[in-house]
Structure 1
Amino acid sequence: MRPLAIFGGTFDPVHIGHLTVAWEASELLDAEVRLMPSRTPPHRAEPCATAEQRLAGLRAALAGQDRLQLDAREMEREGPSYTVDTLRELRAEQGQRPLVLLLGEDAFAGLPAWHQWRELFELAHIGVLSRPGLSVVRSEVLWREITERRIAHSRGLDGRPAGAIIELQVTALEISATRIRELLASGRNPRYLLPAGLFADPALLQPYRR
């Protein structure tokens, strides 16, 4: 049974860096990968674009390929988009299928601040998207939780629905949604930082222009 991997975020807007790491994680894990936009992120400011606008951007970005999929369940749920709630839903749907929560190094380092964070290990594996040359300090409480869970190869996920930590070396693309919003707001065109599908409809980038 192929793993199901979840890659969340605000995608405000979705950019090439998001798609690159999600695609590489799919290859490294031999997994189905779903991009899951957050409606109301609990740990950051409200997105600039509405839920509907961000969903439209993701649909345009993912058109023409079948490796990466869109899962809009958090957009349909009221209140803060807590990852633990989403994983509970997926676990109920998927049975014993391996689930993998994909997190960047910085997000993973901040895991102890997440809502009911220890329960995440009971619901899914965690794939840490590591970039060469990036060094992030992990707290002692996080190290205590993950030391015995670390595995070196995706084969270690076989037959295990949850509980492991695997580091995935992905291509480092220093692309920032914040920087893209700044470029768009100043009237510039971030042509090669965004998926081509976002330029097909001017309305998809209108929320970021002034």
Structure 2
Amino acid sequence: MSPLAILGGTFDPIHLAHLAVAWEASELLDAEVRLMPAAVPPHRPPPIADATTRVAMLRAALCGQDRLLLDARELARGGPSYTIDTLAELRAEEGERPIVLLLGADAFAGLPQWHRWHALFDAAHIGVLSRPGGTHGWPAELAAEVAARSVADPRRLRERPAGMIVELDVTPLDISATRIRDLLAAGRNPRYLLPEALFGDPALLAPYRQS
């Protein structure tokens, strides 16, 4: 059964690095990838753009292809966006379909600070988005999970619904949403850092130009 992969974030704003890693992960996993904007991220300041604007940016950025999709359930639910709650919803909907939570290497290293982090492995596989040739220094309790759960071949994730960890080598694009927000606030035009579709509607980037 083809996996369902999830890439969460504030997407404040959505930029080309988000899209590039989601697309590469989709190809590596042969999976549908849903981009899932967070309502209130527990581990970082709230986004500048409101939920309606971030959804509009994602819709514009994802238009014209069918490999990457938008899932706005966390915005509809409101409150802190705990990943385990989202994965529990998806598991109830998807049955035994493999679900893959996509995390950058830095986010994965901080997993032991997440709400009910051990339960994540009961709900999903984890795909760690890594730079080719990169090295890792996982915390000890996370390293133990990696040692017990790692597989080298992404196709192995189809064997069961959850519980494995796979590293996915994706092209490193050093694009920062913080830098983009700073450029927009300074009146500059980050033309080749953002999806072209975002420049078609001035309202999409207005929250950052006004900050």
1:201 to 1:31, Cα distance in 2 relative to 1, 3 A: same
Q: Deviations over 1:79-101 (max 9, x none)?
A: 10000000000000000000000
Distance 2:39 2:135 in 1: 30
Alpha-carbon shift at residue 157 of structure 1 (Å): 1.2
Q: Tell me: CA distance 1:49–1:168, structure 2 relative to 1, closer, same or farther (3 Å).
A: same
1:162 matched residue in structure 2 = 162
Aligned mates of 1:124, 1:56 — CA distance in 2: 28
Once the two structures are superposed, what CA deviation does each residue of 1:36-62 show, in whole Å capped at 9, x if it has no partner?
A: 000100000010100111111000000
Q: How does 1:130-209 map to 2 (within 5 A)?
A: 130-132=130-132, 134-209=134-209
Where structure 1 has 5 or more consecutive residues not aligned to the other structure, the ranges are: none
Distance in 2 between residues matched to 1:17 and 1:115, nearest whole Å: 26
The answer to whether the Cα contact below 8 Å between 1:84 and 1:115 also exists between their aligned partners in 2 is yes
The code of the aligned residue for 1:12 comes to: D
2:104 matched residue in structure 1: 104
In structure 2, C-alpha distance between the alignment counterparts of 1:171 and 1:18, rounded to whole Å: 11
**Which one-letter code corresponds to 2:23 in the other structure?**
W
Unmatched tracts of structure 2, length 5 or more: none
Counterpart contact for 1:106–1:136, Cα < 8 Å? no
- Superimposed CA distance per residue, residues 130-152 of structure 1 (whole angstroms, 9 cap, x where no aligned partner): 01354443100111122110000
User: 1:73 maps to what in 2?
Assistant: 73
Letter in 2 for 1:127: G
Query: Taking every aligned residue pair, what percent have the same amino acid on both sides?
Result: 69
Q: Cα offset for 1:120? A: 0.2
TM-aligned CA distance change 1:132 to 1:186, over 3 Å: same
Q: What is the CA–CA distance in structure 1 between the aligned matches of 2:154 and 2:136, rounded to whole Å?
A: 23
- Find the aligned partners of 1:52 and 1:136 in 2 and give their Cα distance: 37
**1:128 counterpart = 2:128:** yes
For 2:116, the equivalent position in structure 1 comes to: 116
Length, aligned pairs only: 210
Give SS of 1:161's match: coil
How does the TM-score come out when normalised to structure 1? 0.98
Letter paired with 1:58 = L
C-alpha distance in 1, partners of 2:170/2:115?
27
| Aligned position for 1:25 | 25
More displaced 10-residue stretch of structure 1: 83-92 or 150-159: 150-159
Aligned-partner SS, 2:168: strand
* TM-align CA RMSD: 0.9
CA distance in 2, matches of 1:154, 1:175: 26
Q: With the length of structure 2 as denominator, give the TM-score of the two structures.
A: 0.98
Q: Secondary structure at the match of 2:159?
A: coil
